[in-house]
Amino acid sequence: MIPPEFEYYRPKDISGALSVLTEHGDEARVLAGGHSLIPMMKLRMADVPHLIDLQDIAELKGIAISGDRVTIGAMTTQHELINSEALHAAAPIMREAALQIADPQVRYMGTIGGNVANGDPGNDMPGLMQCLDAEFTLVGTEGTRTVAARDFYEAAYMTARHDEEILTQISFAVTEAGYAYEKQKRKIGDYATAACAVLITKAGGKVATASIAMTNLSDVPVFSQAANAALVGTPCDKAAVKAAVAAALEDIDPTEDNRGPVEFKKHVAGIIISRAIERAWSRA
Protein backbone atom coordinates (compact mmCIF):
# COMPACT_ATOMS: atom_id res chain seq x y z
CA MET A 1 0.00 0.00 0.00
CA ILE A 2 0.95 3.64 -0.41
CA PRO A 3 1.16 5.74 2.78
CA PRO A 4 -0.98 8.86 3.23
CA GLU A 5 0.46 12.14 2.02
CA PHE A 6 3.10 13.68 4.31
CA GLU A 7 5.62 16.51 4.43
CA TYR A 8 9.24 15.33 4.27
CA TYR A 9 12.12 17.08 6.07
CA ARG A 10 15.84 16.28 5.97
CA PRO A 11 17.60 18.59 8.45
CA LYS A 12 21.39 18.91 8.64
CA ASP A 13 21.64 19.19 12.42
CA ILE A 14 19.83 18.28 15.62
CA SER A 15 18.54 21.80 16.18
CA GLY A 16 16.87 21.72 12.77
CA ALA A 17 15.17 18.43 13.59
CA LEU A 18 14.03 19.73 16.97
CA SER A 19 12.55 22.87 15.42
CA VAL A 20 10.31 20.75 13.18
CA LEU A 21 9.30 18.57 16.14
CA THR A 22 8.48 21.66 18.17
CA GLU A 23 6.48 23.25 15.36
CA HIS A 24 4.33 20.21 14.57
CA GLY A 25 4.16 18.40 17.92
CA ASP A 26 2.66 14.92 17.86
CA GLU A 27 2.00 15.18 14.11
CA ALA A 28 5.75 14.84 13.48
CA ARG A 29 7.93 11.73 13.76
CA VAL A 30 11.65 11.22 13.28
CA LEU A 31 12.89 8.56 10.85
CA ALA A 32 16.06 6.54 11.42
CA GLY A 33 16.46 3.40 9.29
CA GLY A 34 12.72 3.26 8.57
CA HIS A 35 12.23 -0.48 9.01
CA SER A 36 9.52 -0.05 11.63
CA LEU A 37 7.88 3.25 10.75
CA ILE A 38 7.65 3.02 6.95
CA PRO A 39 5.81 -0.36 6.90
CA MET A 40 3.35 0.99 9.49
CA MET A 41 2.74 4.05 7.33
CA LYS A 42 2.19 1.89 4.25
CA LEU A 43 -0.31 -0.26 6.13
CA ARG A 44 -2.09 2.92 7.32
CA MET A 45 -1.34 1.90 10.90
CA ALA A 46 0.57 5.16 11.45
CA ASP A 47 -0.48 8.57 10.17
CA VAL A 48 2.56 10.87 10.09
CA PRO A 49 1.82 14.24 8.47
CA HIS A 50 5.41 15.44 9.05
CA LEU A 51 8.33 13.02 8.63
CA ILE A 52 11.82 14.08 9.76
CA ASP A 53 14.63 12.04 8.19
CA LEU A 54 17.78 12.03 10.38
CA GLN A 55 20.12 10.59 7.74
CA ASP A 56 22.01 13.85 7.06
CA ILE A 57 22.82 14.68 10.69
CA ALA A 58 26.51 13.78 10.96
CA GLU A 59 26.67 14.27 14.74
CA LEU A 60 24.30 11.33 15.19
CA LYS A 61 26.74 8.90 13.57
CA GLY A 62 29.92 7.14 14.62
CA ILE A 63 31.53 4.99 17.30
CA ALA A 64 33.89 6.47 19.89
CA ILE A 65 35.82 4.69 22.63
CA SER A 66 37.38 6.90 25.27
CA GLY A 67 39.00 5.29 28.27
CA ASP A 68 36.57 2.70 29.57
CA ARG A 69 33.49 4.14 27.86
CA VAL A 70 31.89 3.32 24.50
CA THR A 71 29.68 5.94 22.84
CA ILE A 72 27.66 5.14 19.71
CA GLY A 73 25.72 7.69 17.68
CA ALA A 74 22.06 6.80 17.29
CA MET A 75 22.25 6.78 13.47
CA THR A 76 25.10 4.25 13.39
CA THR A 77 23.97 1.23 11.37
CA GLN A 78 24.07 -2.40 12.41
CA HIS A 79 26.51 -2.97 9.54
CA GLU A 80 28.86 -0.40 11.04
CA LEU A 81 28.58 -2.02 14.46
CA ILE A 82 29.53 -5.38 12.97
CA ASN A 83 32.53 -4.00 11.06
CA SER A 84 34.06 -1.87 13.82
CA GLU A 85 37.15 -3.65 15.13
CA ALA A 86 37.46 -1.12 17.95
CA LEU A 87 33.91 -1.85 19.10
CA HIS A 88 34.51 -5.59 18.80
CA ALA A 89 37.52 -5.29 21.10
CA ALA A 90 35.61 -3.14 23.60
CA ALA A 91 32.32 -5.07 23.64
CA PRO A 92 32.35 -8.19 21.43
CA ILE A 93 28.77 -9.06 22.34
CA MET A 94 27.67 -6.15 20.12
CA ARG A 95 28.90 -7.86 16.95
CA GLU A 96 27.49 -11.21 18.00
CA ALA A 97 24.04 -9.71 18.53
CA ALA A 98 24.04 -7.41 15.49
CA LEU A 99 24.88 -10.32 13.18
CA GLN A 100 21.64 -12.00 14.27
CA ILE A 101 19.42 -9.04 13.41
CA ALA A 102 17.27 -9.67 10.32
CA ASP A 103 19.44 -9.93 7.18
CA PRO A 104 22.29 -7.98 5.50
CA GLN A 105 19.93 -5.67 3.60
CA VAL A 106 18.24 -4.60 6.82
CA ARG A 107 21.55 -4.26 8.67
CA TYR A 108 22.93 -1.87 6.03
CA MET A 109 20.13 0.63 6.80
CA GLY A 110 18.86 -0.29 10.25
CA THR A 111 20.33 1.86 13.04
CA ILE A 112 21.05 1.19 16.67
CA GLY A 113 19.04 4.26 17.67
CA GLY A 114 15.97 3.16 15.74
CA ASN A 115 16.27 -0.32 17.20
CA VAL A 116 16.30 0.88 20.81
CA ALA A 117 14.07 3.97 20.59
CA ASN A 118 10.68 2.71 19.39
CA GLY A 119 10.03 0.22 22.17
CA ASP A 120 9.32 -2.79 19.97
CA PRO A 121 9.59 -5.81 22.31
CA GLY A 122 10.90 -7.93 19.43
CA ASN A 123 13.95 -5.76 18.75
CA ASP A 124 17.29 -7.23 19.78
CA MET A 125 19.19 -4.17 20.98
CA PRO A 126 16.93 -3.09 23.91
CA GLY A 127 17.61 -6.28 25.91
CA LEU A 128 21.29 -6.15 25.01
CA MET A 129 21.48 -2.54 26.18
CA GLN A 130 19.98 -3.56 29.51
CA CYS A 131 22.51 -6.36 29.79
CA LEU A 132 25.31 -3.82 29.16
CA ASP A 133 23.73 -1.33 31.61
CA ALA A 134 23.76 1.26 28.83
CA GLU A 135 22.59 4.85 29.04
CA PHE A 136 20.59 6.72 26.39
CA THR A 137 21.09 10.43 25.74
CA LEU A 138 17.90 12.31 24.87
CA VAL A 139 17.97 15.85 23.48
CA GLY A 140 14.93 18.14 23.41
CA THR A 141 14.09 21.79 23.34
CA GLU A 142 14.38 21.91 27.13
CA GLY A 143 17.87 20.41 27.19
CA THR A 144 19.68 17.10 27.41
CA ARG A 145 19.06 14.24 29.78
CA THR A 146 20.30 10.69 30.25
CA VAL A 147 18.08 7.66 30.91
CA ALA A 148 19.33 4.20 31.88
CA ALA A 149 18.33 1.46 29.45
CA ARG A 150 16.95 -0.49 32.41
CA ASP A 151 14.53 2.37 33.11
CA PHE A 152 13.68 3.33 29.53
CA TYR A 153 11.03 0.76 28.54
CA GLU A 154 7.54 1.17 30.03
CA ALA A 155 5.31 -1.04 27.84
CA ALA A 156 5.19 -2.22 24.23
CA TYR A 157 6.08 0.78 22.04
CA MET A 158 6.05 3.06 25.09
CA THR A 159 9.30 4.48 26.44
CA ALA A 160 10.63 7.28 28.63
CA ARG A 161 11.40 9.39 25.54
CA HIS A 162 9.13 12.41 25.20
CA ASP A 163 7.57 13.22 21.83
CA GLU A 164 9.68 16.34 21.42
CA GLU A 165 12.96 14.52 22.18
CA ILE A 166 15.47 12.77 19.94
CA LEU A 167 17.64 9.89 21.11
CA THR A 168 21.12 10.98 20.06
CA GLN A 169 23.55 8.44 21.46
CA ILE A 170 24.04 5.27 23.47
CA SER A 171 26.89 4.72 25.90
CA PHE A 172 28.11 1.87 28.08
CA ALA A 173 31.27 0.63 29.78
CA VAL A 174 33.95 -1.34 27.97
CA THR A 175 33.58 -4.96 29.03
CA GLU A 176 36.01 -7.85 29.33
CA ALA A 177 33.31 -10.21 30.57
CA GLY A 178 32.52 -13.53 29.04
CA TYR A 179 29.62 -12.93 26.70
CA ALA A 180 26.91 -14.59 24.65
CA TYR A 181 23.85 -13.59 22.66
CA GLU A 182 21.62 -16.55 21.89
CA LYS A 183 18.54 -16.26 19.70
CA GLN A 184 15.93 -18.68 18.37
CA LYS A 185 13.81 -17.58 15.43
CA ARG A 186 11.62 -19.31 12.87
CA LYS A 187 13.56 -18.12 9.84
CA ILE A 188 16.16 -15.59 8.70
CA GLY A 189 14.83 -12.07 9.09
CA ASP A 190 12.25 -12.94 11.76
CA TYR A 191 12.00 -11.56 15.26
CA ALA A 192 13.14 -13.87 18.05
CA THR A 193 10.87 -16.44 19.57
CA ALA A 194 13.26 -15.98 22.48
CA ALA A 195 16.68 -14.36 22.84
CA CYS A 196 19.06 -13.80 25.72
CA ALA A 197 22.15 -11.65 26.34
CA VAL A 198 24.57 -12.67 29.07
CA LEU A 199 27.75 -11.14 30.50
CA ILE A 200 29.73 -13.02 33.16
CA THR A 201 32.99 -12.26 34.95
CA LYS A 202 34.99 -14.87 36.85
CA ALA A 203 37.13 -14.71 39.99
CA GLY A 204 38.66 -17.68 41.77
CA GLY A 205 36.79 -20.13 39.57
CA LYS A 206 33.41 -18.68 40.50
CA VAL A 207 31.01 -16.17 39.01
CA ALA A 208 31.98 -12.69 40.21
CA THR A 209 29.30 -10.76 38.31
CA ALA A 210 26.45 -11.72 36.01
CA SER A 211 24.11 -9.74 33.79
CA ILE A 212 21.19 -11.48 32.05
CA ALA A 213 18.55 -9.83 29.86
CA MET A 214 15.94 -11.31 27.53
CA THR A 215 14.17 -10.28 24.35
CA ASN A 216 10.59 -10.82 23.11
CA LEU A 217 9.51 -12.65 26.23
CA SER A 218 7.39 -9.81 27.61
CA ASP A 219 6.04 -6.49 26.36
CA VAL A 220 9.39 -4.96 27.40
CA PRO A 221 12.93 -6.34 27.52
CA VAL A 222 13.49 -8.27 30.75
CA PHE A 223 16.58 -7.72 32.91
CA SER A 224 16.60 -10.47 35.53
CA GLN A 225 18.20 -9.52 38.83
CA ALA A 226 17.06 -12.84 40.28
CA ALA A 227 18.86 -14.83 37.59
CA ASN A 228 22.00 -12.78 38.13
CA ALA A 229 21.87 -13.43 41.88
CA ALA A 230 21.42 -17.17 41.31
CA LEU A 231 24.76 -17.31 39.48
CA VAL A 232 27.00 -15.00 41.52
CA GLY A 233 29.32 -16.90 43.86
CA THR A 234 28.73 -20.26 42.17
CA PRO A 235 31.07 -22.28 39.94
CA CYS A 236 28.40 -21.97 37.23
CA ASP A 237 27.76 -25.68 37.37
CA LYS A 238 24.61 -27.41 36.18
CA ALA A 239 22.77 -26.72 39.44
CA ALA A 240 23.59 -23.00 39.31
CA VAL A 241 22.59 -22.69 35.66
CA LYS A 242 19.33 -24.52 36.36
CA ALA A 243 18.60 -22.15 39.27
CA ALA A 244 19.37 -19.10 37.15
CA VAL A 245 17.13 -20.32 34.33
CA ALA A 246 14.29 -20.98 36.77
CA ALA A 247 14.67 -17.48 38.20
CA ALA A 248 14.72 -15.90 34.74
CA LEU A 249 11.59 -17.79 33.68
CA GLU A 250 9.77 -16.34 36.69
CA ASP A 251 10.49 -12.84 35.34
CA ILE A 252 9.12 -13.29 31.82
CA ASP A 253 5.54 -12.91 30.61
CA PRO A 254 5.26 -14.14 27.01
CA THR A 255 2.03 -14.05 25.05
CA GLU A 256 0.71 -16.44 22.42
CA ASP A 257 1.19 -15.37 18.81
CA ASN A 258 2.26 -16.86 15.48
CA ARG A 259 5.61 -17.88 17.04
CA GLY A 260 3.85 -20.29 19.35
CA PRO A 261 1.81 -20.70 22.55
CA VAL A 262 3.03 -19.49 25.93
CA GLU A 263 4.30 -22.87 27.16
CA PHE A 264 6.33 -23.38 23.98
CA LYS A 265 7.92 -19.94 24.35
CA LYS A 266 8.82 -20.67 27.96
CA HIS A 267 10.38 -23.97 26.91
CA VAL A 268 12.42 -22.27 24.16
CA ALA A 269 13.40 -19.48 26.57
CA GLY A 270 14.76 -22.00 29.06
CA ILE A 271 16.97 -23.59 26.43
CA ILE A 272 18.20 -20.25 25.07
CA ILE A 273 18.98 -18.82 28.53
CA SER A 274 20.86 -21.98 29.52
CA ARG A 275 22.92 -21.93 26.32
CA ALA A 276 23.75 -18.24 26.72
CA ILE A 277 24.92 -18.68 30.32
CA GLU A 278 27.04 -21.70 29.51
CA ARG A 279 28.68 -20.03 26.51
CA ALA A 280 29.34 -16.77 28.37
CA TRP A 281 30.92 -18.77 31.21
CA SER A 282 33.15 -20.62 28.74
CA ARG A 283 34.45 -17.24 27.54
CA ALA A 284 34.87 -15.65 30.98
Per-residue pLDDT of the chain (284 residues; tens, 9 = 90+): 788 899 999 999 999 999 999 999 889 999 998 878 887 888 787 888 999 999 999 999 999 999 999 999 999 999 999 999 999 999 999 999 999 999 999 999 999 999 999 999 999 999 999 999 999 999 999 999 999 999 999 999 999 999 899 999 999 999 999 999 999 999 988 999 999 999 999 999 999 999 999 999 999 999 999 999 999 999 999 999 999 999 999 999 999 999 999 999 999 999 999 999 999 999 99
Percent of the chain with pLDDT over 90: 90
Domain boundary among 116, 151, 173: 173
Total tally of structural domains belonging to the chain: 3
Is 1 inside a domain boundary?
Answer: no
pLDDT given at position 69? 98
Between the alpha carbon of residue 184 and those of residues 50, 121, 199, 250, 252, the distances in Å are 37, 15, 19, 19, 16
Rounded CA separation 175/195 (Å): 20
Is residue 2, in this structure, part of any structural domain at all? no
Is residue 103 assigned to a domain?
yes
Whether residue 141 lies inside any domain: the answer is yes
Phi and psi at 51, nearest 5°, equal -110, 125
Q: Of the candidates 128, 149, 133, which has an alpha carbon nearest to the alpha carbon of residue 197?
A: 128
Residues 155 and 224 grouped into a single domain: no
Residue ranges making up the domain that contains 17: 7-53
